[in-house]
Amino acid sequence: MSERFLFLDLDETLISSLYANNEEHADQLLDIYTQYWEGWKYTLSDGWYVSFLRSWSKDLIAYYQTVMGHKNVGILSWGTVEYITFVNQLLGLNVVGYNIYGREDMGANVPKLKGLNKVLVDNEDYEHHLKMGYPYTKINFLENLPRNKIVTVRGFDVRYSRDDLWDTAYEDVISQVDAAFEADPIE
């Protein structure tokens, strides 16, 4: 069996990020949502943001880094690499920098990923990725990732998520990821 690699989507999967008009607005968003979720404010080149951490994100990353090694767990997101790297450090997600892939990478071939048993955890399902219609999608980047290698979790948006009752359970995510790794690839 080939070596395993777990890819995790960032926005609406591991974290929920909101744009803020200014620092005061960022503080207001923190006041509202930190009663439910751990959050941080920060600025990037295009303005103020706040990001909130899904309750099981760090545990999921740490679990698979222990099981498969740090070199086999990464983030694959439509965000920019700069944004993903910044948020990864700020929120303490602990994904190594060489395993962060953003929109700039979607059209690239990454030789170290070729032939691996890859699984993607995302809030968007396989059909959504197909409908995007772009020549550069996560499915294409992951060498035409088969549909049974995507684990779809409920989208995480702090504006609509108040507790863990609405969420995909951590144990269910582990079960689904493990099953996806064990499954023979099918289209």
Domains of the chain: 4-14+55-182 (3.40.50.1000)
**pLDDT value at residue 137:** 87
State percent of the chain over pLDDT 90: 75
Q: How confident is the model at residue 46 (pLDDT cuts 50, 70, 90)?
A: confident
Query: What is the token pair recorded at 163?
Result: 């507790």
- Write phi, then psi, for 2 (nearest 5 degrees): -75, 160
pLDDT digit string, tens, across residues 105-143: 988 888 889 999 999 999 999 988 888 767 778 998 999
Q: Please tell me what DSSP assigns to residue 11.
A: B
Half-sphere exposure of 185 (CA within 13 A, CB side): 13
Q: CA-to-CA distance for 134 and 122, rounded, in angstroms? A: 18
User: Nearest CA to 42 among 96, 2, 82, 6?
Assistant: 82
